[in-house]
């Protein structure tokens, strides 16, 4: 009886896991999904830095930061205490480009950059929502503070994380001269602008990058 019952026990399938062919197909699918989602952004960055296939010999108007700096190195956070780097994590489904105005005391030059960042963003038209704005300022005048809710309500305020000092990229010293930093959707500080640039300069670069990229 024991032998008869034993003969009726179904044999266990020794191939419960994926076959080598299934594993290969899974890896190919994952790679294709990554390429479709992030490939254009990577290509856009390479093309912008190298000038490869840039139409009519396009050259950037801002100052390229090479190598790029991870946004986490800036040690910035929102007024609510959320690290800026968090919004560029892999979990984000809708990454954006970010313009950050950085200055010590926000004097007339700083206010000019605040204005340029806002106007360049607005001038992107239907692509304006692919770029956001922020500012990290040491101090602002009472007049600017009063105007902020109406003139710069879409420009988020950032501060250094408690107990830290921002590690600015080479060529940037906000205490001496205000700058606008451009951060790509992957969280790389890649370019900066200053009082020597016009709104048209910034707009030209942004339009070019957004045209090349489908991410952000």
**What is the rounded distance in angstroms from the CA atom of residue 175 to the CA atom of residue 141?**
16
Half-sphere exposure of 132 (CA within 13 A, CB side): 18
Element (H, E) at 179: strand 179-183
**pLDDT digit string, tens, across residues 82-126:** 999 999 887 777 789 999 999 999 999 999 999 999 999 999 999
More confident residue, 53 or 95: 95
Q: Tokens 């840039």 map to which residue?
A: 54
More confident residue, 46 or 7: 46
**What is the rounded distance in angstroms from the CA atom of residue 137 to the CA atom of residue 151?**
16
User: What are the residues whose beta carbons fall under 8 Å from the beta carbon of 64, sequence distance 6 or more?
Assistant: 49, 190, 191
pTM for this entry: 0.75
Domain boundaries, the chain: 60-212
Of the candidate ranges 123-127, 166-170, 198-202, 208-212, the one whose mean pLDDT is the lowest:
208-212
Q: What is the pLDDT of residue 9?
A: 40
Select the CATH number that applies to the domain covering 60-212 from these four: 3.40.50.2300, 2.40.50.140, 3.40.50.720, 3.40.30.10: 3.40.30.10
**What is the rounded distance in angstroms from the CA atom of residue 117 to the CA atom of residue 111?**
10
Q: What is the pLDDT of residue 93?
A: 76
The conformational region for residue 72 under phi > 0 = left, psi -120 to 50 = alpha, else beta, is alpha
**pLDDT digit string, tens, across residues 117-172:** 999 999 999 999 999 999 999 999 999 999 999 999 999 999 999 999 999 999 99
Q: Among 171, 158, 138, which Cα is nearest to 98's?
A: 158
The pLDDT of residue 25 is above 50: yes
Query: Where are the extended beta strands (E) located within 38-172?
Result: 63-70, 76-78, 97-105, 131-139, 155-160
């Amino acid at each position: 009886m024991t032998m008869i019952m034993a003969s009726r026990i179904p044999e266990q399938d020794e191939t419960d896991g994926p076959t080598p062919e299934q594993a290969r197909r899974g890896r190919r699918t994952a790679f294709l999904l990554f390429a479709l989602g992030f490939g254009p952004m990577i290509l856009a960055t390479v093309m912008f830095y190298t000038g490869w296939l840039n139409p009519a010999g396009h050259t950037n108007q801002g100052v390229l930061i090479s190598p790029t700096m991870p946004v986490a190195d800036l040690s910035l956070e929102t007024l609510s205490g959320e690290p800026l780097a968090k919004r560029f994590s892999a979990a984000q489904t809708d990454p954006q480009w970010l313009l950050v105005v950085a200055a010590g005391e926000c004097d007339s030059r700083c206010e000019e950059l605040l204005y340029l960042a806002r106007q360049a963003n607005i001038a992107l038209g239907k692509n304006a929502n692919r770029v956001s704005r922020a500012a990290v300022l040491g101090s602002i005048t009472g007049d600017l503070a009063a105007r902020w809710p109406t003139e710069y309500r879409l420009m988020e305020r950032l501060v250094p994380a408690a107990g830290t000092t921002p590690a600015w990229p080479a060529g940037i010293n906000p205490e001496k001269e205000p700058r606008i930093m451009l951060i790509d959707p992957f969280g790389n500080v890649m370019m900066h602008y200053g009082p020597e640039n016009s709104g048209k300069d910034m707009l030209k670069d942004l339009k070019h990058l957004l045209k090349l990229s489908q991410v952000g």
